[in-house]
Structure 1
Amino acid sequence: MNSPWQTKWPERISYGLSDAADNLVFQMMTTYLLFFYTDIYGLSASAAAILFIVARLADVVESLLIGVMIDHTHSKWGKSRPFFLWYALPYVLFAVLTFVTPPFGAQGKLIWAYVTYLGLGFFYTAVNLPITSILPTMTQNESELTLLGVIRQFGGSSVQIIVAVFTLPLVAWFGHGNQQRGFLLTIILFGAISLALIWNTFFHVRERFTNPEHAHQSWRAVGRMLRRNQPWLIISVVILLYWLTTAIKNQTTIYYFKYIQHSEALVPWANSFTFAALIGVLLIVRAAHVWGKKQTMLGGIALAAGGQLILTLGVLFNQLVPLFAGILINSVGNGLIIGLVSIMIADTIRYGMALGIQAEGILASTDDFGVNVGLGLGGLVTAGLFHLSGYVANHPQNTATQHMIILNYAWLPLLLYIVMFVTLLFYNERRLKITLDQQSDRD
């Protein structure tokens, strides 16, 4: 039996703007930070690779730490909501500092990169993880949870596209030929908007459903629930694979157009086709109702893989039309995938409650864990392969490096989509639904 709807449109929009706020910084970090470090800041590809893997190892711990902090937070605002208030300002400050280029020597600049990037990773987790953990406490209506998840992803995807398309033009406009200045002023602009939107979320969302008997359980009890929560284990692996795929392809995009197509100006055009992700996001409400969330996500993965295959053919034959068409189709599929992530994580949190444990912080941490580890491994793979192939910034690349760029941009993402599809086949949506229906009847 489904409960009545609890949220109103101002709260729904404010919730969606939380992901938009985070993505103003996050998308710039995932798409352009490797390029900034190697071609502007002055780090070698090998140094950037090591930095990314160290940061992601730290993020593994941070995701669990923030999850535990949420589960053990007692405040008049709830468990997840106060994190938007407490950590928004440090998050934005570290985002700006990450794109500062200090007048230090090589060692000093490397230390600065470590301090700022590691700090940014921690505070990103502190403001992003609560977006997922708060969702199942806002409403108990399954249709409303789906709508809130779609609104969130629509906001996040819209900003991803804005950042992907307009970052380089803004860098050129602010910098007037000085990319250091351009990147810094761009992140200051994005950061100021991000801060306002995160605080707006704090003031407008509410936590309504917390069970004191199920909250604040022992580590042993939480561990037993995690082992029994098969849907959570499967969706965690899917999230990791998705962000690994995204990191490898997104970070390679600017290298592909700069060094293979010899036209950096094509990057905004290529990224503009990712607007099609919004189509996938908007399809979720109807598709999930008709086919279920698992089948809808499987369809999204298949569509994304098909688009990636078309993109690969465009790369092989050096044709921009199929390449751009592949990006568009791939983006529709990606919209279906990523739009369902927070909704399916919310289902696993509710499943945990049905098992007697309310641990939304720990269960939601799998989203940030997958993001952080996927991005870290993606950065390591990209920068590591470039280093091994002899990449030299701002110079014509040798044949081995060109092959590595094409491998990262076309073939590796295609392979990872296939692995993602096979993994999701093991997700037991039927058992999850039966358990949630039984719990709803008891309530």
Structure 2
Amino acid sequence: MSNQNKISISEKIGYSLGDLAANLIFQTLMTFLAFFYTDVYKIPPATASAIIFAGGMIGAFFNPVMGVIADRTNTKWGKFRPWILWTAVPFGAMALLAFSTPDFGPNGKIIYAFTTYILLVLVYSASNLPYSALSGVITGDMAERNSLSSYRFVAVMLAQFIVQALLLPLVLILGDGDKTLGFENTIGVFAVVGVVFLLITFLTTKERITPSSEQNTSVKQDFSDLFKNRPWIAMLLITIFIFITLSLKGGMYVYYFENYLDAKALSGFLNDIGFNNFIQGLNNLLTNMGLVGFHWPEDVSTSGFSLFNAGGIIFMIIGIGFSKHFADKFGKRDVFGISLFLSALCLLAFYFYSPKSIALVFISQMIHGFFYGISTPLLWAMIADVADYSEWKNNRRATAIIFSAMIFGLKAGLSIGGALVAGILAMYGYNEQLLTQTPETIGGIKLAMSVLPTLTFCVSVTCLFFYGIDKKKEVEIERELSERRKIA
């Protein structure tokens, strides 16, 4: 294998832009897909739940297939980089189609939504699985890999900030109050930006770790190695439950702000902290620049929801800043488990807040963001370590098939969590036509963004007991693989 070189800051930034591109769409799916289907495209919640689950699971089971294909791709650009190039434009196009709203009848809407969602998640797999596997072959230095993950997840948090804090205001602004038109225009902007960033990732990265010329394993051998790899199985389950959590709580936040929190108390809180004055100043600035059409929306729940997400994301980014230091000192596994457990406790606190406990809601979100931010880069870095573990144990490297666990878990978690959002709404009688939901519906919304995601996060923490790659094992694997690669 080739020498494991240090990587430049420009390559780290170029690589991270790929995740920014993917997450402009992924974060929108995770946070707003159920809302888009139920409140914008007017698909019944139970039907939306079925579409999200079935479409997402089809995409999830495509990932192992994509992993096999990517591991056996051989081009002058490497194994994984060409897939980023080939899928950039199709990914942007399918994202735009999935959030378009053609004027079909009830059955036509269902068929259109199901078809475009399936195509989007398939193209996402063909792009994001090779992209994720690329982090495992850019460098074999685990400290550099931790650094790369930190750069990557600053980009993820930036995309998350844009989507969760600014998407609804952008939808109202770019649609001039029409959410249907606003979603199409906003996703159109995201799609163009995403295509450009994916092309930059392709142009600025390099694959340095390549399998030896003697390696020639069968698909059967690859899967046999996987299911004998206990850390891989643990990470598969961890990823599924983490993305169930993120999709469930993220998808419920918008309903929580629109239906549970007291609008008058929320408005008073925004006024007391100076947010309303800030927005007024921003609107005046835009007016003076002639940009009257870009005024921040006056809707209180939209403002509160955006600020709530922004606070959490800012503190996530702060948490990411601590991640590498803690991981280098204590090992990824232990830091990941502790930070994830503490973030779960913050979610549980939401269950006990009244509709007027606005300050506590915002403070809990920021603390949750900080602890979750510490864990965020480590998830992907641990998958790269599992690829090293597989090579160390079996003397064969199959990076993409290892990373297929992550993308499968991501897709499965997104599908289950998104389906749970729409399914719980249907179970508790949610009706988007009502100005005030029933107490039963509000109780279901509250339960789904506090107790249930706390439980699924805790399941992920429990799975870490079977992961097995602690700090000592990390060092041992890195040292032995380095020696083997020098000889090769």
Query: Is 2:150 the partner of 1:150?
Result: yes
User: Bigger CA drift: 252-261 or 389-398?
Assistant: 389-398
* Deviation for aligned residue 1:306: 2.8
Shift of 1:109: 1.2
Which amino acid in structure 2 is aligned with residue 327 of structure 1? Answer: Q
Name the CA shift for 1:62/1:433 in 2 (closer, same or farther; >3 Å). Answer: same
C-alpha deviations, 1:400-420, integer Å up to 9, x for none? 211110110111111222222
What runs of 5+ residues in structure 2 fail to find an aligned partner?
264-299
Q: Distance in 1 between matches of 2:48 and 2:214?
A: 43
CA distance in 2, matches of 1:120, 1:364: 19
1:390/1:8 CA distance change after superposition, 3 Å: same
Q: Does 1:332 align with 2:394?
A: no
Letter in 2 for 1:155: A
In structure 2, the partner of 1:264 is 301
**Aligned amino acid, residue 338 of structure 2:** G
The answer to whether the Cα contact below 8 Å between 1:313 and 1:322 also exists between their aligned partners in 2 is: no
The correspondence for 1:439, drawn from 461, 481, 486, is 481
- Once residues 214 and 433 of structure 2 are traced to their aligned partners in structure 1, the CA distance between those partners, rounded to angstroms, is 56
Identity %: 29
**TM-score normalised by the chain length of structure 1:** 0.96
Q: Name the amino acid aligned to 2:378.
A: L
1:90 corresponds to which residue?
A: 90
Opposite residue 451 of structure 2, the aligned amino acid is W
Cα deviation digits, residues 354-381 of structure 1 (max 9, x gap) = 2222111111111111111001111222
Given that 2:142 and 2:478 are in contact with CA atoms closer than 8 Å, whether structure 1 keeps it comes out as no
Give runs of aligned pairs for residues 12-411 of structure 1, distance below 5 A: 12-213=12-213, 215-261=215-261, 262=263, 263-265=300-302, 266-274=304-312, 275-314=314-353, 316=354, 318-354=356-392, 355-395=394-434, 396-411=436-451
CA shift for structure 1 position 140: 1.5
Which SS does the other structure have where 2:208 is aligned? coil
1:264 CA drift (Å) = 2.4
With over 3 angstroms needed to count, the CA separation of the structure-2 counterparts of 1:436 and 1:230, relative to structure 1, is farther
Which residue is equivalent to 2:464?
424
**C-alpha separation in 1, matches of 2:301 and 2:109:** 26
CA drift of 1:267 comes to: 1.1
1:23-53 CA deviation, whole Å, 9 max, x = no partner? 1111112111111110110100011011011
In structure 2, C-alpha distance between the alignment counterparts of 1:214 and 1:30, rounded to whole Å = 42
Q: CA deviation at 1:218?
A: 0.8
State the Cα deviation string for residues 38-89 of structure 1 (Å, max 9, x = none): 0110100011011011112201221112111101111111111001110111
What is the CA deviation profile of residues 315-373 of structure 1, one whole-angstrom value per residue up to 9, with x for unaligned ones? x4640111111111111122122211111111111111222221111111111111110
Amino acid at match of 2:453: P
Amino acid paired to 1:277? M
CA distance in structure 1 between the aligned counterparts of 2:233 and 2:386, rounded to whole angstroms: 9
Cα pair 1:312 1:323 within 8 Å, conserved: no
Mark the structure with the bigger radius of gyration: 2
For the 8 Å contact 1:245–1:416, the answer to whether it is kept is yes
Contact 1:303 1:329 in 2 (8 A): no
Question: Structure 2 length normalisation: TM-score?
Answer: 0.87
Residue type of the alignment partner of 1:419: V
Give the deviation of 1:129 after TM superposition: 1.2
- Pairwise CA distance, 1:305: 1.6
Q: Which runs of 5+ in 1 are unaligned?
A: none
Q: 1:214 to 1:147 in 2, by over 3 A?
A: farther
How far residue 204 of structure 1 moved from its aligned partner, in angstroms, is 0.8
Looking at structure 1, the residues matched to 102 and 324 of structure 2 have their Cα atoms a distance apart, in angstroms, of: 47
CA distance in 1, matches of 2:157, 2:180: 27
Instruction: Tell me the number of residue pairs that the alignment of Structure 1 and Structure 2 aligns.
Output: 440
- In 2, the alpha carbon distance for the partners of 1:132 and 1:191 equals 20
Q: Aligned AA for 1:343?
A: A
CA contact (8 A) 1:175 1:181 kept: yes
